[in-house]
Every structure is written in C-alpha cells, then in structure tokens.
Amino acid sequence: MTISITNTTSAKTLLGGWERALLALPALAGLGLGFLLVFLPGSFASLTQFPAEDAYIYQLAGATILGYGVALSLSVFQRAWLAVRLVVIGVLVNNLGSLYACGVEISAGHAPASVFLFLATSLVFVAICVLLLLRHTGVAHPAPDVASSAVQGFLVIGAVAAGVFGILPLFVPELFTVFHLHINAPFVVRQAGAGSLGYAVVAVLAQRALNHIELPLIIVMAGIFNGVGGLVSIPYLFSGDVLLLPWVIAPVGLIVCVVCAVALRQVTSPAPASIRQS
C-alpha cells in the first residue's frame, strides 16, 4: 500500500530515503517481537526470563506490537510524511510507556537482562520518532475528504476503548487478576498497556486528520491489532483459564477488524468532487 500525495510544496512534506531506513528499525522489531509473542509465547518467556504463565497476556501484548510492526513496514514504502505521521506518534507514545514499564521493573530490583534490552531499544525508537517529528514540524493537513460520521464515531469509540486498556494495564496491572490472570509478569502487562495507549492517542489525533492520506495506515494498524487480539482470544473462550476477558476481546476484536477493512476501502476510494473542491 502506497499512499500518494500531490502538490508537494516543501521538502518537509516528503520522507527522505534515510528517514524510511530509520523507520525500518522499529518495523523489524515490531514484526519480530509481535510474531514471537503471538505465536511462541513460551519461547518469549524462556528467552526473556519471564514466567511462562499467562501466555494469553503475552499474546495480547504481541497483538498490539504486531499492529505497529505492520504499519511501520508499510510506512517504509511511503513518500509522504503525512501518510506516516500518526503511526510515528503512536510508536512514540508506545515507547514512552515502555520506558515507564522498564523504570518500574528496574526500580523494583528484580529486572532480568531482557528489560535492559527493552530499555535500550525504546530509547532508540523514541529518538527516531522525535527526530522525524521535529524535521517535519509545520506540515499542513490537507482538507478533509472523508465525509463520514461513521468513521469519526469509530475513532471516538476506539480512543475510549484503547485508552481504558492502555491506562489500566500500564499503571495498575494487578487489577487484571480479577480475570484469573496470574500477573506474574507485570512488565509484559505494562508493555501491552503502553501499546494500547499509543492507539488511543492516535485515534484522538485522527479526529483532525479525516483525509485519505493520513487515515489508511492507522486503520491498517488498528485492524491488525484487533484482528490478532480477537483470534488469539478464541482458544480461551471455553478453556476456563481466563474469565470474561476473552469473551469481550474475541468478538469485539474480530468485529473491529471487519469494520477497519470496510473503513480502509472507504478512505482509499476517490473522494467525491464536492469534497475535493471544498
């Protein structure tokens, strides 16, 4: 997917080759770590020296990270800064939350070596995101060409839901023991919360970006996040290991994934002439 932009009046509106190369770093990390968490949670626990219980939490964390990985991978092929701006902001918020999670774990005095690796990579990714945002400061938004209250409503609901599942896991991970989760690795719960919080911030900012340039990649990102989260929840529906949570995440995640597919088709379709000329 390549999102085109016309009327490039300033070099600031375009991404340089080296900037796309920088985006490839968090893209590869997101794809690799997301795949490991979703499909091989036991291997992740072994490699990172975290408890093997609560594989479901690892898989949900992987779903959030995989969404970023896919969106960033597509960002590498974009020429327009605005096409990737919201993705970069989401990655920035995610990694700032990750730094908080690392700080809590390290200050507790029992952080495995893997936490310091998370710390180092998060610092690098924060630096990349801040650099790109500073270089492209002041790029104007194009006129809205997605005239759909349904898309706006979808973004509002997404912001609220992602905000709840971002703030609570990030700051009070122990709360989720109510779902029969052991929470032996609160660090991973906080990482999942950091990722979800990034989606919430993106959904809020997208209210000012109702155009075919800025919306597509974040819709892809949300679709992957929710679709994968829904799929990994299905095996837990009847296992009895986790209460209630899979029954919420499985249907909602899959429905949102379908909605994202419909919304993506809408925002990538040519805008009506009346909107383009406004």
- Can you tell me the distance from the alpha carbon of 229 to that of 60, in angstroms, rounded to the nearest whole number? 6
Name the helix (H) or strand (E) containing 108.
none
pLDDT reported for residue 8: 42
pLDDT reported for residue 48: 94
First-to-final CA distance of the chain? 26
pLDDT reported for residue 154: 85
247-263 per-position pLDDT tens digit: 999 999 999 999 999 88
pLDDT reported for residue 2: 56
Number of residues that this document lists for the chain: 278
Give the residues across from 14 on adjacent strands. Answer: 80
- C-beta separation of 49 from 113 below 8 A: yes
Q: List the domain boundaries for the chain.
A: 17-270
Helical spans, DSSP H, in the chain:
17-39, 41-48, 55-75, 81-107, 113-135, 149-171, 186-205, 215-233, 245-267, 273-276
pLDDT reported for residue 10: 67
Please tell me the pTM assigned to this model.
0.91
pLDDT reported for residue 145: 78
Which residues does 154 contact at the CB level (< 8 Å), separation at least 6?
259, 263
- C-beta separation of 13 from 7 below 8 A: no
pLDDT reported for residue 211: 87
pLDDT reported for residue 174: 93
Which residues of the chain are modeled with pLDDT < 50? 4-9, 273-278
> 3-state class of 271 per DSSP?
coil
